[in-house]
Structure 1
Amino acid sequence: MTRPAFHLAIPVDDLAAARAFYGGLLGLTEGRSTDGWVDWDCHGHQVVTHLVPGVRSQAAGYGTVDGHRVPVPHFGLVLGVEEFRSLARRLADAGTGFVIEPCLRYAGKPAEQWTMFLLDPAGNALEFKAFRDEAQLFAR
């Protein structure tokens, strides 16, 4: 097994809703769990949804990226282009309310990428993106 690149713990106020979102909608595999938390395999990374009753996440602020208002904090995942498109279709078909609809950023530039932002049921902001050329992930 490859060691995960990151471990992220996020608060949720409803584990059933988290299971429906992370497992059902996003298609992540559920790992260990208790009555208070659930581990998710997020493409080889460990995301843990911790039950925190009565607490809902919200953006502390917003930044501007390529003319879009981006919620901060957020966590994101870089996908392949086809995987991104498939996820975007699945989310749209499910009636997901996007913070930023799937769109192309930096068109024609080295860091050209598809991106989308959405909120989980607890209000945690998520970004998914895909680069035309993944080798340009950190291009200036």
Structure 2
Amino acid sequence: MRETNKVFHLAIPCKELDETADFYEKLGCRMARRYNDRVTFDFFGDQVVCHLNPDSIDEMPQMYPRHFGVTFLDKEEYDQALKCAIREKLPFFKEQMIRFEGKQEEHMTFFLVDPANNLLEFKYYHDPVMAY
């Protein structure tokens, strides 16, 4: 199980800092730092750094194999994230769906797309054992 003295770090490209900050703050992520070439967020307890690099934006993103996100262990938190995305009119890449229905690994999921076409997945497993 994860220890609370560790924070996962992910660096991703962004094409413009203001729109990136707006998206992640609407999602509920606290901005930790901002420089002229990057912005760092508390992304649900982990660190996401969006580096200004407009030439490396994926113009045709696909869910697989590249995306990142959060697996919620509490359904209420998953529901809150979904409600927040809807309320803030954040762009969905894939609306909420059920994956692996009827199997032990069944889970609810939805995908958002940030302003640089980075795909974010949010999911909740009915069986918490399947989170890993």
Cα pair 2:91 2:114 within 8 Å, conserved: no
Name structure 1 gaps, 5 residues minimum. 63-69
Is 2:91 aligned against 1:97? yes
TM-score, normalisation: structure 1 = 0.80
CA distance in 2, matches of 1:49, 1:7: 11
TM-score for both structures, normalised by structure 2:
0.85
Say which of 69, 76, 81 aligns to 2:69.
76
Question: Do the aligned partners of 1:100 and 1:118 also contact (CA within 8 Å) in 2?
Answer: yes
The correspondence for 2:126, drawn from 114, 129, 132, is: 132
- Work out the CA distance in 1 between the residues paired with 2:58 and 2:82: 23
Percent identity (aligned): 34
Secondary structure of the 1:72 match is coil
More strand by share: 1
CA distance in 1, matches of 2:60, 2:70: 18
After superposition, residues 7-18 of structure 1 pair within 5 angstroms as: 7-18=9-20
Instruction: Note the 1:48-87 alignment, pairs <5 A.
Output: 48-59=49-60, 62=62, 70-79=63-72, 80-87=74-81
SS of equivalent to 2:89: coil
More relative contact order, 1 or 2 (CA 8 Å, 6+ apart) = 2
Indicate the SS of the match to 2:90.
coil
* C-alpha distance in 2 between matches for 1:22 and 1:96: 10
CA apart distance, 1:49: 0.6
Where structure 2 has 5 or more consecutive residues not aligned to the other structure, the ranges are none
The 1:58–1:26 alpha-carbon spacing in structure 2 relative to 1, beyond 3 Å, is: same
Moved beyond 3 Å, runs of 4+? none
Of residues 7-16 and 80-89 in structure 1, the stretch that sits farther from structure 2 once superposed is 80-89
Q: Deviations over 1:65-121 (max 9, x none)?
A: xxxxx3431112111311111111221233333221011222232111110112101
- Taking a change above 3 Å as real, the CA distance of residues 86 and 10 of structure 1, as seen in their structure-2 partners, is same
